[in-house]
């Protein structure tokens, strides 16, 4: 993802805060209480968007991995890694909130004969192996390639899994996608606002993590340049599951010093 023009991470963060606040207001003060579940149904507005965004992020990770394999550019691998990393966090939140909802609604924290729950857990556990897989491969290039193959295969599994669950016969779990026509207009509006808020939260955290990775890559480059100037450079790669961005070409200590002298950089430093 590139942040060009006016869509900077800061603008994105502010938009996310506004949309999230609006969505929460709609959830608690606008959406009517569900006839069957009452107030407990409010969990729907956080649990379902979390699950949808998480699954969408896994698929996005696969698409970004395709771009990596096609271009060989390690930046696509970093983007794919961050997308999957964020989706794992959102997936964990979806599992916990779903479990809380199940306890309140069905009296059990987990129900093993419910295909939607179990299939989501399978997808989550599948992706939980992504980072150990990366960590197991020392060579960064091979690590990136194997991780991309994994991301594409697992990414293709996500929609197949979703369709399989749809086709299964047990419909204990409430249907959401394709069945929003059953929701009253006020509930549907609130759900769409919540989904947008969670998607924006994902995008903001994604941008934040990518920005941090870019800053770390620049710092690493500067440190190497400094060590090379002093003749003390030693190439000692550290095994890591997290990919690193390629060292920026032409980055110099002068460039970073002038970046820090920039008024915005100064303001951020004071915070």
Partner 1 sequence: MTALLAQLPALPLHEAGKYVAAAYITLLVLVVVYVAVMAMRVGRIQRELSALSERARGASAEGDSPSESGRA
C-beta of 47: minimal distance to partner 1 in Å? 7
Of 181 and 269, which has the nearer Cβ to partner 1? Answer: 269
Of 158 and 251, which has the nearer Cβ to partner 1? Answer: 251
Contact set with partner 1 (CB under 8 A): 28-29, 37-40, 42-43, 46-47, 50, 89, 92-93, 96-97, 100-101, 103-104, 201, 205, 208-209, 212, 215-216, 219, 222-223, 226, 253-254, 256-257, 260, 269
C-beta of 129: minimal distance to partner 1 in Å? 21
C-beta of 231: minimal distance to partner 1 in Å? 14
Of 18 and 253, which has the nearer Cβ to partner 1? Answer: 253
Closest CA to 115 of 169, 156, 159, 41: 169
Of 44 and 157, which has the nearer Cβ to partner 1? Answer: 44
Of 153 and 258, which has the nearer Cβ to partner 1? Answer: 258
Cα 78 to Cα 64: distance, rounded to the nearest angstrom: 9
C-beta of 252: minimal distance to partner 1 in Å? 9
C-beta of 69: minimal distance to partner 1 in Å? 28
């Amino acid at each position: 993802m590139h942040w060009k023009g006016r869509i900077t991470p800061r603008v994105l963060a502010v938009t996310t805060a506004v949309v999230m606040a609006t969505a929460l207001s709609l959830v608690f003060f606008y959406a009517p209480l569900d006839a069957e579940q009452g107030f407990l149904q409010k969990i729907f507005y956080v649990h379902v968007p979390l699950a949808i965004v998480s699954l969408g992020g896994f698929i996005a990770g696969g698409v970004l991995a395709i771009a990596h394999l096609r271009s060989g550019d390690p930046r696509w691998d970093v983007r794919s890694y961050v997308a999957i990393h964020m989706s794992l966090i959102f997936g964990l939140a979806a599992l916990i909130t779903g479990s809380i909802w199940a306890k309140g609604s069905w009296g059990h924290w987990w129900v093993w004969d419910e295909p939607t729950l179990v299939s989501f857990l399978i997808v989550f556990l599948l992706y939980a192996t992504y980072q150990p897989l990366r960590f197991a491969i020392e060579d960064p290039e091979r690590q990136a390639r194997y991780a991309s193959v994994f991301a594409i295969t697992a990414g293709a599994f996500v929609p197949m899994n979703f369709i399989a669950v749809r086709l299964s016969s047990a419909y204990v779990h409430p249907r959401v996608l394709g069945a929003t026509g059953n929701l009253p207009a006020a509930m549907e509006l609130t759900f769409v606002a919540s989904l947008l808020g969670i998607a924006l939260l994902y995008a903001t955290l994604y941008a934040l993590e990518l920005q941090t990775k870019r800053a770390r890559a620049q710092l690493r480059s500067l440190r190497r340049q400094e060590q090379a100037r002093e003749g003390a450079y030693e190439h000692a790669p550290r095994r890591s599951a997290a990919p690193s961005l390629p060292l920026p070409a032409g980055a110099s200590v002068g460039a970073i010093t002038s970046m820090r002298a920039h008024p915005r950089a100064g303001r951020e430093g004071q915070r």
